[in-house]
Amino acid sequence: MIYGIINASFNVGVLFVGTVSFAGACTLLFAPPLTKHWSRRWLRVRLGTTSHKATAITSPPTSPTTTPPRTPLAITDFLDAIARDVRSGFSLASSFVQCSDQQSDDNHWSQPVAQQCLRGVVLADALVEPTWTPEIRFASRTLAVASAGGAGVAPALEHSASVLRERQALMLDRDVQAAQAQLSTKVLTWLPIAVFAWIAITDPIARVFLLSTPLGLCCVATGITLNVSGRKWMSHVVDNISV
């Protein structure tokens, strides 16, 4: 009797140590690649504007008869360009039209607004589009308010651009931090499956209990249900974090 209790306690201890060791090994294996991936993505986006400028400076000059390719400006760069034109003495509407003409994409969100401004429509009335993204709607509201005039048009546009950049940086930081939660979700999801397979292979008594008795099958079904539910819930929480 005592020998059986000691043996069972020893088996439980070995199982616990093996489980913890397996979880630690998975964390050490998968945490650095995921962190490295999200960190590189964060750096690529944050330094994207600088990389484009450096490429434009170091690229060889093109032929006079060849028009160099132009990449579409981001919303933040678009607002900064309008602010620079406003500081140079242009009106807000003319600055918007000039910056919109610099876009190489004919489907850019500013093209229809610029065409309406050329027809004589007020900029604030032209900036109405329900299908825009939240970032574009934020920029359009800033432009609509700034079109009322005043001395703070350029600072308002620059501040809106900085707010959008900060929001984008926070979203990327959220992705970096969520990588650890995603790793934990994967480890906690696959670890019980690995432990169940290990026990079913190495322990005949546990295999018979789990796969042949109603109580064992109930335990297996409950474990699978909780495993899948926890994975989906964690994915839902990570994916729906708003900045």
Per-residue model confidence as pLDDT tens digits over 96-126: 888 888 766 656 778 888 888 888 888 888 8
Mean pLDDT of the region 2-25: 69
User: Please, where are the H alpha helices in 88-152?
Assistant: 92-101, 110-118, 123-126, 134-146
Residue 25: both structure tokens together: 């090994």
- CA-to-CA separations, 140 to 123, 124, 210, 234, in angstroms, rounded: 10, 8, 62, 35
Mean pLDDT of the region 199-211: 85
Per-residue DSSP letter, 62: P
Per-residue pLDDT at 66 exceeds 50: no
Higher pLDDT, 47 or 70: 47
Least confident stretch, 60-64, 171-175, 211-215: 60-64
Angle, vertex CA 50, rays to CA 45 and CA 55, nearest 5: 115
Residue 106 to residue 65: CA distance in whole angstroms = 22
Length of the chain, in residues:
243
pLDDT digits (tens, 9 = 90+) for 146-184: 887 777 888 888 888 888 888 888 887 777 777 777 777
Per-residue pLDDT at 239 exceeds 80: no
> Which of 181, 220, 166 shows the shortest CA–CA distance to 197?
220
The pLDDT, as a whole number, for residue 48 is: 54
